[in-house]
């Protein structure tokens, strides 16, 4: 019962608040198999790194795949 109370009184309200602030909730079932050494959402992190590190001239990312992989690893 403690798990259900915590979920209902703590987790759901904070998830609702974060969603209201524009965050996206990813349920545990979407995460898949966990590796303690890897970011939980590695593919989303890679995509975000490419998106926010744009060149000013041709809009392509200045980060190549080895830069992205190294960033995720660190």
pLDDT at site 17: 95
Mean pLDDT confidence for 67-72: 89
Cα separation, 56 vs 61, whole angstroms: 9
Q: What are phi and psi of 36, to 5 degrees?
A: -60, -20
The per-residue pLDDT for range 12-52, each reduced to its tens digit, is 999 999 999 999 887 766 555 666 666 667 888 898 998 88
Q: Domain ranges in the chain?
A: 1-31, 33-74
What residues are paired with 61 via a beta bridge?
Answer: 54
Cα separation, 59 vs 55, whole angstroms: 5
pLDDT at site 13: 93
Does 53 have pLDDT greater than 80?
A: yes
CB of 63 closer than 8 Å to CB of 53: yes
CB of 55 closer than 8 Å to CB of 61: yes
């Amino acid at each position: 019962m403690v798990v259900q109370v915590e979920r209902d009184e703590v987790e759901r309200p904070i998830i609702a608040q974060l969603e209201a602030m524009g965050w996206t909730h990813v349920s545990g079932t979407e995460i898949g198999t966990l590796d303690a050494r890897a970011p939980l959402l590695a593919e989303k992190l890679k995509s975000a790194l490419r998106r926010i590190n744009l060149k000013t001239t041709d809009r392509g990312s200045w980060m190549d795949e080895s830069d992205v992989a190294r960033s995720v690893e660190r």
